[in-house]
Structure 1
Amino acid sequence: MLTSNQGVYVMYISNLNAEILRNLVLTALGKLKADSVLKNASLVNVYTSEVIEGVSVAIKSGRVAYVGKNVDHLIGSSTKVFDVKGMYITPGFMDAHIHIESSMLTPLRFSEAVLPHGTTSVFIDPHEIANVLGVKGVEFFIKEALEAPIRIFVNVPSCVPATPEDTTGAKLGPKEVEYLLRNPYTIGLAEMMDFHGVLSLREDVVSKILAAHKLGKIIDGHAPGLSNNLLQAYVSTGIYSDHESVRADEVVEKTRLGMYVMLREGSAWRDLAETLKAVAEKGIDTRMLLLASDDRNPYDIVHEGHMDYIVRKTIELGIDPVKAIQMATLNVAMRFKVEKYLGGVAPGKLADIVVLDDLEKVNVKMVFVDGKLLAKNGRSLWHPPENYKAPSYLYGTINIKRKITSEDFKIKAPIEEGIVKAKVIGVIPEEAITKKLIMDVRVVNGYVVSDVERDVLKIAMVERYTGKGRTGLGLVHGFGFKYGALASSIAHDNHNILVVGVNEEDMALAVNKVVEMGGGIVFAAKGEIRAAVKLPVGGIITDKPAEEVAAQLEKLTLETRKAGSKLREPYMTLSILGLIVIPELRITDKGLFDVLDNKFVSLFA
């Protein structure tokens, strides 16, 4: 939904010219008829924090021309009239931070999926596709942003790879980052995940931050666990937003330092219940609080929703409905400096509007973008072209020139038989962080074996870019499998292949199937492939519709439940266990990594 090529942000949001300006003025004065009118609703006014009854909205040239009690004089023979009596008009919902790749969909398929849920703008960090394909991956997302029905604001990935220790398919150094920042279709520098690089003033990190400042673009943050002088040092560089808070005291500390805090409610990690305590228990004002999904898989989008779900959850947790809507509209627009065009329903604003039939349940009935009705009653009225397919250069990105075998997953122990203490990745359900556990693990014939009774399983990362398939090994607690193995080429942020399993044979089978498919997620058990989700675009997404992918994920989740897992979505949990910018313990293709100590560590304690 990009419409101009002038200015830093204008291309996303403004096609204002002399003719449109004239049309808006004359319509507001009653001298021109509106293109469309929404009649007799209750307006959620995010500017004054009130709900005003009996309001109608007139739209002209894709913008709001008039908001008032009576718009009959603006209705002509060609005006489309939507009678929304008894309903609520709100601004279009905005996701403050998301990686579209987590939806497992291309940007166009993602747009099609989220439109019925009231989402009209998203602020994205395409660092997943960038880790696989570099600049050309980001440029593919920019291209699809130009064609999308919603507003996709592209931030330039700042950390590709996430840290120097990651093995990826591409790198974005200061030169590539500045090149992309100079692209008029990018809005800022995406989450600066390498906080160690910021705090140590590493030259390449400083260069990227200064490039964003020089070009007048925003800088998004990533500050998990940072506090006191470390947090203040991080913020002092001009990084004024963060989405990694998991506790109320983190939200309080960050907002007091002038940071916009994005409260995350994603698929694998759901933080709202804790972070909203900053409002309920600490009394923090909501002006600096934004709503974001960070990662939202297609099953959850189809069955729960997107921004409508997050706003609804916020209300259920005790936040006033108008405040909750502000957190998904005006507050987001303010943070990204687009409030001149978006974030509210008022004269001159772009007509991105959601109609609800229940304010507290956030039941979306209609969605308008640029004044056009694009979704109604839970169905998108917009679809990609019938022959839509991602470009061929995005396929064939998995490069492993050998067959993975059970031998790749054997862990040699320091003893021949018995029990040995080892460092184990402790999964915390629905949270991004992990715990560094020290546990007793079993050794048989000189090798560590899984212990299903104590829920200690093997985990590995198989490198997929150089052809060698280098494999790092570890142990994990929290998946609950009694049998089988789960493998995925979605492995934030390097997107090598992650696999967790009870036995080495099923682990090898699952990984080889992922390679054969060109990317995806596989559950294997007892020598058979039980479920598979094919993701051949960059090995992490697909150009198929969301409903099709959701059905495959449902089958895969069912198989993991049969195998004993109680995790809501084990594949989402698995996908972040290689992310070495979030504490505490992670797996890489080189072995275990301690995030807090910022170093590789031995498996055995």
Structure 2
Amino acid sequence: MSKGTAFHIQDWADVAPHLVAVASGRAPADLVIRGGRVVNVQSREVLDGWEIAVAAGRFAYLGPDAGHTIGEGTEIVDAGGRYVLPGLCDGHMHIESGMLTPAEFARAVIPHGTTTMFTDPHEIANVMGLEGVRLMHDEALMQPVNIFTQMPSCAPSAPGLETTGFEISAGDVAEAMAWPGIIGLGEMMNFPGVIAGDPQMLAEMAATMRAGKTVGGHYASPDRGVAFSAYLAGGAADDHEGTAEADAVARARQGMRSMLRLGSAWYDVESQITAVTERGMDPRNFILCTDDCHSGTLVNEGHMNRVVRHAIACGCDPLVALQMATVNTATHFGLERELGSIAPGRRADMILTSDLETLPVERVWARGVLVAEDGRCVVECPHIGWPDAARASVHLKAPVTTEAFEVAAPEGANRVRAKVIGVVENQAPTKALTAELPVSDGVVEGEGGVCQIALVERHRATGGVVNGFVSGFGYEGRMAMASTVAHDSHHMIVVGTSREDMAQAVNRLAEVGGGVTVWKDGEEIALVELPIAGLMSDSPAAEVAAKAEAMVAAMVACGCTLNNAYMQHSLLALVVIPELRISDLGLVDVTKFELTDLFEAET
């Protein structure tokens, strides 16, 4: 049982008699690992020379000598003095951000030692509704590693400020709580609604708590006073939106798990982990996660092993960092007795590595099965078979013309003061900026690093286009970049310096059924096809990553200098993170949660 096809785990209660028999020496183990150094995240120590026995996909014995569990047919693995540690857990993430389906995402991260993921498929919920969530949930359950699904809470993320393809109701949430792979409620982004006592938001949280499951949090506000307390009182149990030490401290003090994220573009571990490394706060209340990682990061840099390495580089003790990526996560979701540590009864998810700081992942087992070796996934990751409806999600009323991107100036104006979305490198929040922009023949033009941004409605073929301005990408010359990945409503976002290229980019994505395209001087120089809901590809991760790398290179060729600027691009419509965003209804001031004019009023 240690190698081959994926092993679907049985309940502990059902296999307990066999585990007892193995642990006591009355029955042989399936697998014994000897000669290693076991990382015990329960006690935060390394047990040199201790041995591990596995049976029925679970740990049966942990101790100085597993010889009594060895019998005919037992596979024996010599760890050769290397460390054996629990499989890594990602406490908060969106599979869709990897541009991959659950199967291909699993195939990409298994070689990096990730054996458990807590995923929120709210991206596809905005495009396909409950049916999209069900497809993600069902494919997740087919995988050789543990992928738990959090039922999306907010589609739309901010009612009244955006229009989604589908909406999620409190009834949908209550229904999904009975699905076998649902672990809780996805991040409650509508924190103003919770604070104001919105009946739907509170009903969703209540349905989750009545089911005995965890409510995910998302409090993207600097206000840590009364509003924060009101949000916590609603039931949110964790939060990954902190960006400063004070955020981590405030969450831990109020009984909330602080999730420190390192994604492709979110670098929020270093600024918060000092709450543990310098202030000495109890590390049990801190969890590591990725939130959003695109395929290039997964293939070339890693997944949760990358986050753990980064936390260690930021001064965290390696054993503490490993706790934050294993048992802390499992405990938070009520699964401490099921996974997250090498201890009797838990799922036999483990990693073999020669170094606890650099974490080279040499072998990975999940449920007692060898799933990766020397950087290769060695088991199948089954696909569900995505329906045609999922592959036809880009709906335009008609091909878009350059005129759709003309921003009319107030009558008689030669220059205008426009509100500008300011991108902040390596962070999700934006800045609300202003800029004096020139007017040519009655049309406002970008200038001095200020580009045009437009949101093109793509769910109901309304023909709607909302225009605005953005700065921070550094684009030069004639170019455009368009994407059907536009968190969270996932209309189409296009940023450019040329209205002609912007139109060509939008129409190209309609032609291929979604994805990301970059144009320069009237020619397409990069394309990542994402035919499933305009968000994902079921092609192998390496292929998608190669196209994503070419896309990043194309952005650089257009003058972009930001780290992982694609992630910044894809969040420009995220109307629940301050300060300024764009939606299909207009420009959104997220500090006030209201629509705002593009131009500043003259005084």
TM range (shorter): over 0.9
Deviation at 1:604, TM superposition (A): 0.9
Deviation at 1:41, TM superposition (A): 0.9
Indicate the residue corresponding to 2:265 in structure 1.
268
1:118-137 matches, cutoff 5 A: 118-137=113-132
Instruction: Give, as a single letter, the amino acid of the residue that structure 1 aligns with 2:405.
Output: F
Instruction: Give, as a single letter, the amino acid of the residue that structure 1 aligns with 2:472.
Output: G
Contact map agreement 1:460 1:589 (CA 8 A) in 2: no
- Mapped to 1, the partners of 2:286 and 2:414 lie a distance apart of 52
Match of 2:451 among 457, 460, 474: 457
For the pair 1:254 / 2:243, whether they are aligned, the reply is no
For the pair 1:509 / 2:491, whether they are aligned, the reply is no
Contact map agreement 1:160 1:171 (CA 8 A) in 2: yes
Indicate the residue corresponding to 1:3 in structure 2.
none
Indicate the residue corresponding to 1:8 in structure 2.
none
For the pair 1:578 / 2:593, whether they are aligned, the reply is no
For the pair 1:555 / 2:586, whether they are aligned, the reply is no
Deviation at 1:389, TM superposition (A): 4.5
Deviation per CA, 1:214-270: give whole Å up to 9, x if none: 222211100012411111111011211101001110110111000001101011212
Contact map agreement 1:397 1:518 (CA 8 A) in 2: yes
Deviation per CA, 1:438-479: give whole Å up to 9, x if none: 22222222211121xx21000011010111231111111101
Deviation at 1:81, TM superposition (A): 1.4
Contact map agreement 1:436 1:585 (CA 8 A) in 2: yes
Match of 2:284 among 259, 269, 287: 287
For the pair 1:83 / 2:55, whether they are aligned, the reply is no
Relative to structure 1, the CA distance from residue 569 to residue 416 in structure 2 (aligned partners, 3 Å threshold; closer, same or farther) is: farther
Instruction: Give, as a single letter, the amino acid of the residue that structure 1 aligns with 2:180.
Output: P
- Mapped to 2, the partners of 1:188 and 1:223 lie a distance apart of 17
Most deviating of 211-220 and 401-410? 211-220
Deviation at 1:488, TM superposition (A): 0.2
Percent identical among aligned pairs is: 41
Most deviating of 413-422 and 121-130? 413-422
SS at match of 1:206: helix
Instruction: Give, as a single letter, the amino acid of the residue that structure 2 aligns with 1:137.
Output: G
Instruction: Give, as a single letter, the amino acid of the residue that structure 2 aligns with 1:570.
Output: A
Deviation per CA, 1:394-448: give whole Å up to 9, x if none: 1101111201111111111125464321111010011000000122222222211
Deviation at 1:125, TM superposition (A): 0.6
Deviation at 1:202, TM superposition (A): 1.2
SS at match of 1:263: strand
SS at match of 1:537: coil
For the pair 1:332 / 2:329, whether they are aligned, the reply is yes
- Mapped to 2, the partners of 1:174 and 1:28 lie a distance apart of 46
Deviation per CA, 1:156-215: give whole Å up to 9, x if none: 100011111221110111111211123233111111100111011112112111211222
For the pair 1:202 / 2:164, whether they are aligned, the reply is no
For the pair 1:390 / 2:419, whether they are aligned, the reply is no
SS at match of 1:331: helix
Contact map agreement 2:517 2:551 (CA 8 A) in 1: yes
- Mapped to 2, the partners of 1:168 and 1:335 lie a distance apart of 31
Match of 1:52 among 47, 56, 60: 47
For the pair 1:64 / 2:68, whether they are aligned, the reply is no
- Structure 1 gap ranges (5+): 1-10
For normalisation by structure 2, the TM-score amounts to 0.96
Indicate the residue corresponding to 1:435 in structure 2.
431
For normalisation by structure 1, the TM-score amounts to 0.95
- Mapped to 2, the partners of 1:384 and 1:52 lie a distance apart of 33
Contact map agreement 1:129 1:137 (CA 8 A) in 2: yes
Indicate the residue corresponding to 1:105 in structure 2.
100
Indicate the residue corresponding to 2:583 in structure 1.
588
- Mapped to 2, the partners of 1:273 and 1:232 lie a distance apart of 25
Deviation per CA, 1:264-297: give whole Å up to 9, x if none: 1011212112121222333322110001100110
Contact map agreement 1:416 1:444 (CA 8 A) in 2: no
Query: May I ask how many residue pairs the two structures share in their alignment?
Result: 591
- Mapped to 2, the partners of 1:589 and 1:472 lie a distance apart of 6
Deviation at 1:77, TM superposition (A): 3.2
Indicate the residue corresponding to 1:402 in structure 2.
398
Relative to structure 1, the CA distance from residue 423 to residue 142 in structure 2 (aligned partners, 3 Å threshold; closer, same or farther) is: same
Deviation per CA, 1:6-29: give whole Å up to 9, x if none: xxxxx99652344x2222111111
- Mapped to 2, the partners of 1:74 and 1:268 lie a distance apart of 47
- Mapped to 2, the partners of 1:12 and 1:155 lie a distance apart of 20
- Structure 2 gap ranges (5+): 1-6
1:406-417 matches, cutoff 5 A: 406-414=402-410, 416=412
- Mapped to 1, the partners of 2:467 and 2:550 lie a distance apart of 28
Deviation at 1:383, TM superposition (A): 2.7
- Mapped to 2, the partners of 1:351 and 1:36 lie a distance apart of 10
SS at match of 1:407: helix
